[in-house]
Each structure stands twice: as structure tokens, then as C-alpha cells.
Structure 1
Amino acid sequence: MATPEQALHADEVQRMRVFFAFIGVLTAALIPLLIALPGDPLATRLHAGMCAVTATVCAVLLWIVRDPDRYRPWHVTLFGHVAVVTLSAAYYFWGVFSGVLLIAPIGTFMFALGRNFRGALSIHLHATAAHALLATLQIERVIDDVALLRAPELPRAASYGVLLALQFVFNAAFVMARGLRRNTFAIMEQLDRAVRDAAHREALLNEARQDLAAAMRIGGPGRFTDQVIGSFRLGPVIGRGAMGEVYDATHIDTGEPAAVKLLSRDAMAKPDAIARFERELHIAASLTVPNVVRVLEVADASAPVRYLAMERLYGETLADILRRTPRLAADATIELLRALADGLAAAHESGIVHRDLKPRNIFRHQRPTDARAVWKILDFGVSKLGDSGGTLTQGHIVGTPTYMAPEQARGDTVDHRADIYACGAIAYRVLTGRPAFTGRDVPAILRAVVYDTPPQPSRIAPIPPEVDLVLAVALAKNPDDRFASANEFAGALAEALAGSLRESLRARAHAVLASAPWGVRDAR
């Protein structure tokens, strides 16, 4: 249950199952009692017959709704109208002003608490009209009062006064129940918003902690500062990660600015880290597209230190931008996704899966002389070539849990669709202002990625509901349900933000949501 509406629906299903059972047992137990009582023969047959019908309807409905997913609002409407006919027969048998009237406001209250307002209103009008009609016919002596419990003879005006008072009680029960449902829903929505806001703040705080930790590792001289590596003289450290250091640098002949990446001292002692760095050298040198950072030089086999010289980027990462502005506008989001799609298309065509797309690995580059900024994909250090392996290396997670595809979190073999999932997670983040999945620690996030579905985007941010459909496909648990390419995803998202999503994609998204709706914990 992810929303107040779903919670109220679950409550309604349970409440009506209990009500069906109670009324079914009550009406079945009344039948032998009615036969034994000295009531009017016609009234007895009508009342006993309708009790049998009601008990049968209750039994059938209980059998249907034993699975809560089979519950439908029309079940309650059908039951309600059958119950009203039975109650009318009870009025005729027991008396229109007898104690049996207590059942009417209780039933009205139960039905009015339901989601189906029209159905509840039709039952209420049927019940009040039936009682008013039978009472009026008896007051006016059109039909005889054959009730087992006849009320004392009252003047006509007094009888109508009692009738009006009873009708007021019936209507008051209906109005009170609808008001209670409305107030309950409003309170649950407030609580839901408070929980979402708290989760949002916690998610942003976690991101800020990660960014702060990364920022504290940047700046100042490094162990290779002022040394010449290849064709470049290294300056201060401008970036540090778990595997390497990035230095500000200049070409010793041309003075061209650059960024040179070298393995950290700790990483150089780890064969797997060296292999990953070699892989990044190979991959980065093979990709020459505007949306992937441009490689200027790579270390050859004779170099004493393995290094990667790249174009010097000016600007900030997407993580820096989101820390300042939690959400991006629709046009900025489409610009970002199209740039990612172009960069990933080149990588995927070369059989490369990035596996670690996240806001810190996406850079908005713009030199002072550039007319416009360009989004660039960074860090292919954990990328995968073709079928070269899974996502875990010696028990360590490869990738970032918040943006990791479910199959990647499970340690299964991944392909380009893992990157499409990451694009979907990034789009979710920039459009809603919060990550799709959060947790108190890495295992909790990984479990959420594999088994849960995130909150519905349009419920936590002012975006068109069509965006929900596109993101549902991009974030599908099954890779086969996702978009075939990042370009297809970017195009679909542009359609959704423009409110012109094609019907075939709507149907595809609804099929995904049918098996894994938004906001479900453990959607297995």
C-alpha cells in the first residue's frame, strides 16, 4: 500500500468481507426463527425468502473476494440493493417503527464509507425511499399493518413526525460516513506527504554526504604534482575516487589544458584495479563522440606509470547542479537525456556497457568561449566489454546502488539495458527531486532496487502523468520490458512531457505497471 487511496481500498475490502460474513450469518440464522414466530404468513414468507437470497449473495461474494484483488465496487452495490429489499421485507414483518430500524443507519454508514460514492448514494436513496413508501402506505391505511411488533396508534401528524425523524437519522448516517471518509483520506494524505518529505530530505542528505566526502578529497598537491607524465606537466589534484586521482595538467609543448588520470597508490597494489584502469584506457580511447569526454593521450606499454590524459572540462557535474537545484526543468531534462543517449549509443554500438551512470559521472562542460554547454559522460572505469563478466568483483559492488539496475544489483550478467535503467533513474531524480530508491545502508538500497518499486513520480512532483508511464518502462524490473535504446527512451520522455505519448507506448507501460505498480514494497 503506497498511497492513502490504496490504504483505504484495502480497509474497504477487509471491512466488507466482515460485513458480508456478519449479514450472511444473521440472515441465515433468522430463517428458522421467522418460521417459528407467529407472524403474518405472507410477511413471513417474504422476509424468510429474502433472508435466504441475502445469505446466498453473501456466500457468493465472500467466495469471490477471498482474493482481495478480485474485489470490485459493484459487488458492494449489488449486495446493498439486495440488503435493502430484505430490510424492506423486515419492516413489513417486524414493523416500520420497530427496533429493526437500527440496522438501517448502521448499514448506511458501512456503505457510505466505501470508495464508490454513486453506488453508496443509490443504496441510501433506495433504503430511505423504501422505508418512507412503506410507512406512508401504512399511515394512510392503503395497506394493512400486519407487523409482529405493532407500534401504538398515533395521530397521522405524529406518525409523519416520527417518519421524518427516522429519515433524518438515515441521512445523517450517510453524511457522517462520507465526511469521515473524506477527513480520513485528508489526514492520510498529510501523513503520506510528511513521510515522503522526510524520505526526500534523507535522500538529499545522503547525496550531500557523498558529495561532501568526494569534495574533501579534492584540491591541493598530489604525489605527482609538478612532474611530467607523458606529454603533460601535472598540477594540483582536481578529483579523487576510489581507484585514481585526476590532475590539472598542461601539454608541455602546446600549453593545451588537460586532465590526467592516474591510479592511486592503493589501487596500484590491486591487480583487479589495474585491470579496470587498463580497460578504461582502452574504452575511452575507442569512443570519439561529443558527449563522451575526449581522450588526448594514453600511456603506452613502455610508460612507467599508467595514465589517461583527457580534455580539461570546465563546469560542474550533474550532482553539483542537483545539490543547488533539486529538480531540472522539462527542456533541460530532455537536453540532458538526449546527450546521454548519444554518448551511450556510441558506447553500446562498440559493445560497451557503462554500468555506473550517476549524477557525479555526468558533467556539464562549458568553457568561457563556448556558446552553449555540452553534457559529457565520465568514468568508464567499471564499464563492461560485451560478455566480459558480471557486476561484482571479489565481493565488491561495481556501480552505485541508487542508480543500479535490478539485474546488476543481483550480480547477474548485464547488457546495455542496465544503462537504460540508469538513465531512467537519473530522469526520475532530476524530474522529482529525489532518488528512486533510498535506504539506511547499501544492502537496504540494493534490496529496494531488486524488489520494490519507487513512489509514483507525478505524486511527488508537478509533472504530467504520461511521464509516469515512460519512467515505468525505463525502470522496469525485467530488462526485456525496457526501452531498446537510450534514444528511444529520450524520445518517449519528450513525448510524455509534451503530453503527446503514443497509444502503443501507453499500453506497454500499463502492462508493466499491472505486474509492478508504483510504490509497492517487495513487488515479486
Structure 2
Amino acid sequence: MTGEAEADGDKTRGDSPRAFSSGADPSGSTSLLSTDALKTERGTQRRTALAVATVLSGIGVLALQFALAKPLTHWLLTAMLAVTCAVSGMSWLSARGARWAPSASALANGVLVTLSALAAVAHVGPLSAVACVLPIIVYYFAFGDSVAKAVWLFALTAVGYALVVGLASAGLVPLRDSLVELAISKMNLPALAMLGGFVEVVLVATYFMGRRTRRAALAAMEELEAARLRVEQRDALLEEAHADLDRAMEAGRFGRLSGTRVGAWLVDDVIGRGGMSEIYRAVHASSGEAAAMKVLHSSVLGEPTHVERFFREARVSSGLSSPHVVKVLDSGYAADGTPYLAMELLQGADLSRLLRERSRMSSSEVLELVSHASHALTTAHEAGIVHRDLKPQNLFLAEDAANGPALWRVLDFGISKIAEAGGTLTHGGAVVGTPRYMSPEQARGHAVDRRSDVFSLGVVTYRVLTGRPPFAGHDSMATMYQIMHVQPANPDDFMTEHGDVELALALVLAKDRARRFQTVAEFSHALAAAVRGELEPRLRDAARELLATEPWGSEVRARA
């Protein structure tokens, strides 16, 4: 046992976080991914473009009425511009409340506006000022998210304009532009071809400028997203470092039992301290065996339920037979009536310390961690114990004194159900656990079962594989909101493991515990298969079905 003195509380009761279980995400951390941000920006651009198309086509209808000659083509163009004005106006009105528009609707509007512009160019003149509208149309669609749509509109505009110039050169379209009339009257067809070709060059340049601008915008936003993720990762490491620093500052201090004998143990310095307990380094008076001794604070000795729970859970913990569970060596009362629990003293480092040295672990290391932890948790679950506070500080890589292989140990079984005031837990019996690693049902203050530990092990797994926590609000309330209502970012964006690993993580982090892996052993086996790319088809289907309704990064309203 190390100096880890944080503990869990008993069964939750009273208030639950329902007061903040609805409404907007208070953390503000569920920011859109780069593509979604561009879609939102695209919606704003589309509404602006529709408004411009409505105004320009309306002005065109009015301007045409001042023409001296009004042939049939005049009225056909007037009707076409009127339709464009009406359709664009109605589309603008319907798009005002939408973040982005359906692709088919945007394409239909684009085709209508392009054909109207080409008709106007044919009527007024291929080198008139009306032709300036065409590059704007090309640029707008080139900046869009659909390459096919951009190419289609570019081809329609370029081919359509070339057709108008060709018809004008052949005398099939009446020319009203003075520059074109001058070129034709002097039979200067090369001049007309040059001027028409210039507009075509402008169209091509506009298209590539739009695509290049979009790529640059995407690159900038992805870099911004990467920077944000780096900050999140540093914040997570800093928070873990602060917690370790607090424990380190408590270590090596003289406690109220230091220098005394408690039962058969000679008590040394404090190696950890929490709100309701202290952990001392101790040595057996006869055998010299080292131990970690945990004692309750005198402030809670007057609470019979705490004392009874301490010994009840101590008895259960001592019955857990697993190399991945800390051994209970002794328990009893000190001379002053203080309950104590002596456990083996471990040498090594906990996961939080290892994650400070490197932010993530290899898949083989993760599989070993999950396998060892699932063995310990399975042993506890079969004994009716739910850990409820699984986190990096409670996962310890212990060195074997006989130079055997290092084993992961799960710390603080049983006794972790005693809520420690001033520790990582909330007060009043509302919510129990460390916010960043608790399950959705835990965050709501509901009764928990072994599937809560499954979720917490999944959170730890996501953390060590991706290098970032799946849930990280600016405070505990915001973090619990994310756990209940927000899917983490897609882990595939931060790791190189097989795609099946993403699916395994989706299942283990399901908000609804009925859709989650039902045991830690099931998750451990599935993760090992996923790393090999051999996840069972039924699990793949279940994960894909889950992600279809609750995709990564989305807000989830379903109740767990």
C-alpha cells in the first residue's frame, strides 16, 4: 500500500446533479471539430450568398424594364431572374435558423443562380460587367466542403460562358457590348478570343483560389484544434502532478501515532493523509516486515457506521485472493481506540506518476494494465465489492522484491467506500468518486454496480492510449456534465492502433450501462482482440450502432 489516502464514500443518497443535467454544456469544452466549424461558417456564407442573389436578381429584374428594346429574350430573362429572386429569397428565409444547409438544396440554388447569370451574360454581352458575377459563383462553391459540387458548378460556369462567347462569335447571339462590337466590326476575332480567354483564366484562377483558401483554413483550424488538445493534455498532467505533490508534501511527516506501537506494529512517519484517514509506514515488531498502516482520524471515531464499515470492508478485502490486490496483513484497534488496517507496503510507482514521464503507453503495456486491473476487479466484483474510485492514482505498478515481473495492483478496495471529507469526493452523500473517472450513473448519484467500474477502467484506458482524458471540464460540475451528456473526441484522432480499438472504447464508454461491456473481463478480452484487429463481429456491429446514434464529440441526451 502506498501513501494514497483518498477514499470513496458509501452508497449515494440525497441530492443528485439533476439540477445541472439539462441545458447547455457549462464547461464550454464541447467545441466543434474543424469540419463542423467550417460547416457552421459555411451556413453563414450561404445565407449571405442567398441574400446577395436575391438582391442582385431583383435589381436585374427592375433594370431590365428600362431597356428600350424588349424582344422575347428580354422577357425570358426577366422571368428567369424573377424566379431566381423568389427561390433565393425563400431559401434565405428558411436558412436563417439553420447551422448549415442540405447539400442538395445548396446545389440546386447554385445551378439556378449560375444559369440565370449565364442567361444575363448572353443577353447583355459576354464581356459586359454582368460577367463579373461568374467568378464570384465559382469562388463561393470552390470554398465549399464538396469537391464534386465545386467541380460541377465550375464546369457549368466555364462551359456555359465559353458557349456564350462561341455563339456571340458566330453571330448567333446579339452583341450589345461596345468592346465586342468593335472587335467584330473590324473582324478582330483574335481580340475577342483573347478577351474571352482572359475571363476563362479568371474563372480557373478563382476556382483554385477558393480550394486553396479552404485548405489553408482547414489547416489553420486543425492546428488550432491540435494546440487546444496539447493544452488539455498539459492541464491533465498538471492536475495529476498537483495531486501527487499534495500527497508528497504529506509524506515523511510526524503523525499522532508516529513513534508508538499499534498492536504488533511499530509506527513510523506518515506517508499519506486524507480527510478521514492517515497512512503510516510501519514495521512488525517481531518479524521486521514492512507495512502500510491506515488509521481513521479521531474526528470520525464517534461515527459508529464509519467504524463498522471500516472493519467490514477490511474483512472483505482480506478475503480477496488475487496477486493484483493489496494484501491485508492485520487489523484491530490502537491503545487509544483508533481503528487500524495494516497492508503490504508496495515499491514502485502509480500510473499517474508514469503518465507524467510519458503521456501515453504502448498497446502492449495497456493490455497488461487492463488485464491485471480486470483480474483484481473481477475478484472484487465476485465478492460483491464495487471499487467506485478507479483512477491512475489507484493503479500501482509494483516491483517484486524477488526480482519477479512487475505487477499492476489496484489500491483502496472496500475501505474506499468511506467518503473522505476534504478529499476528491463531494459531501453530503450526493456524488461519490473522482469526477474525471466516474461513470454516468455515479455522476447522477444513482446506485452503482460492477458496470460502473467497467466504465472507469474504460476512462483510464482511453487516457493511456490517447494521452488525453476523455472528460475534462473546467470544474467538477462541468466534468460530470460531460460524463453524463457528452461523447469524448474520437480516439482514432490521437492514436495509431487498429480501428477496432475505437469500437471497443465506444462500448466501454457507453452512457447507457446496458450497452456497455457487462464485466471488466469481457472488456479486457475485447480490447486484446481489438488491438489484433479481431474484434468479434457482434461487438463491431454493436459499437457501430452506438456510434450511429451517439457519435464521438456529440451531445447525448439519453439517460444511463
**Bin for the TM-score computed over the shorter chain:** 0.7 to 0.9
Equivalent pair of 2:39/2:99 in contact (CA under 8 Å): no
In the alignment, is residue 138 of structure 1 matched against residue 168 of structure 2? Answer: yes
| Counterpart among 359, 375, 389 of residue 326 in structure 1 | 359
C-alpha displacement of 1:275: 5.0
CA RMSD across the alignment: 3.2
C-alpha displacement of 1:170: 1.3
- Corresponding residue of 1:247: 280
Structure 1 unaligned regions, length at least 5: 385-390
What letter corresponds to residue 127 of structure 2 in structure 1? F
- Corresponding residue of 2:516: 482
In the alignment, is residue 418 of structure 1 matched against residue 447 of structure 2? Answer: no
1:61-108 residue CA offsets vs partner (Å, 9 max, x unmatched):
558756747734343333323333222222222222222112111111
What letter corresponds to residue 11 of structure 1 in structure 2? E
In the alignment, is residue 469 of structure 1 matched against residue 503 of structure 2? Answer: yes
In the alignment, is residue 44 of structure 1 matched against residue 74 of structure 2? Answer: yes
Moved more, 168-177 or 494-503: 494-503
Matches within 5 A, 1:138-157: 138-141=168-171, 143-145=172-174, 151-154=180-183, 155-157=188-190
Distance, in Å, in 2 between the alignment partners of 1:276 and 1:218 is: 26
In the alignment, is residue 23 of structure 1 matched against residue 57 of structure 2? Answer: no
C-alpha displacement of 1:251: 3.9
In the alignment, is residue 82 of structure 1 matched against residue 82 of structure 2? Answer: no
- Corresponding residue of 1:388: none
The change in CA–CA distance for 1:495 and 1:18 in structure 2 (over 3 A counts) is farther
- Corresponding residue of 1:409: 443
Equivalent pair of 1:285/1:295 in contact (CA under 8 Å): yes
| Counterpart among 145, 154, 169 of residue 202 in structure 2 | 169
Distance, in Å, in 2 between the alignment partners of 1:213 and 1:207 is: 10
Partner SS state of residue 488, structure 1: helix
- Corresponding residue of 2:481: 447
Matches within 5 A, 1:352-391: 352-380=385-413, 381-383=415-417
Partner SS state of residue 153, structure 1: helix
C-alpha displacement of 1:354: 1.0
Partner SS state of residue 301, structure 2: helix
Partner SS state of residue 156, structure 2: helix
| Counterpart among 5, 10, 32 of residue 2 in structure 1 | 32
1:364-389 residue CA offsets vs partner (Å, 9 max, x unmatched):
122231421211111122339xxxxx
Structure 2 unaligned regions, length at least 5: 1-30, 419-424
C-alpha displacement of 1:274: 3.2
- Corresponding residue of 2:472: 438
Distance, in Å, in 2 between the alignment partners of 1:245 and 1:254 is: 23
Equivalent pair of 1:239/1:247 in contact (CA under 8 Å): yes
Moved more, 325-334 or 66-75: 66-75
Moved more, 417-426 or 276-285: 276-285
Distance, in Å, in 2 between the alignment partners of 1:39 and 1:481 is: 73
Distance, in Å, in 2 between the alignment partners of 1:362 and 1:513 is: 29
What letter corresponds to residue 509 of structure 1 in structure 2? A
- Corresponding residue of 1:183: 216
1:163-217 residue CA offsets vs partner (Å, 9 max, x unmatched):
0111111112112111211112222222222222222212211111111001111
Moved more, 426-435 or 453-462: 453-462
The change in CA–CA distance for 1:119 and 1:275 in structure 2 (over 3 A counts) is farther
Q: How many residues align?
A: 517
Identity between Structure 1 and Structure 2 (%): 34
In the alignment, is residue 294 of structure 1 matched against residue 323 of structure 2? Answer: no
Partner SS state of residue 343, structure 2: strand
- Corresponding residue of 2:156: 126
Partner SS state of residue 529, structure 2: helix
- Corresponding residue of 1:204: 237
The change in CA–CA distance for 1:436 and 1:272 in structure 2 (over 3 A counts) is farther
Distance, in Å, in 1 between the alignment partners of 2:247 and 2:78 is: 78
The change in CA–CA distance for 1:274 and 1:358 in structure 2 (over 3 A counts) is same
- Corresponding residue of 1:108: 138
Moved more, 112-121 or 398-407: 398-407
The change in CA–CA distance for 1:507 and 1:47 in structure 2 (over 3 A counts) is farther
Equivalent pair of 1:382/1:398 in contact (CA under 8 Å): no
Moved more, 154-163 or 172-181: 172-181
| Counterpart among 379, 383, 387 of residue 350 in structure 1 | 383
Equivalent pair of 1:326/1:430 in contact (CA under 8 Å): yes
Distance, in Å, in 1 between the alignment partners of 2:173 and 2:435 is: 77
C-alpha displacement of 1:14: 2.4
Equivalent pair of 2:125/2:177 in contact (CA under 8 Å): yes
C-alpha displacement of 1:257: 3.6
C-alpha displacement of 1:117: 1.4
| Counterpart among 297, 318, 321 of residue 285 in structure 1 | 318
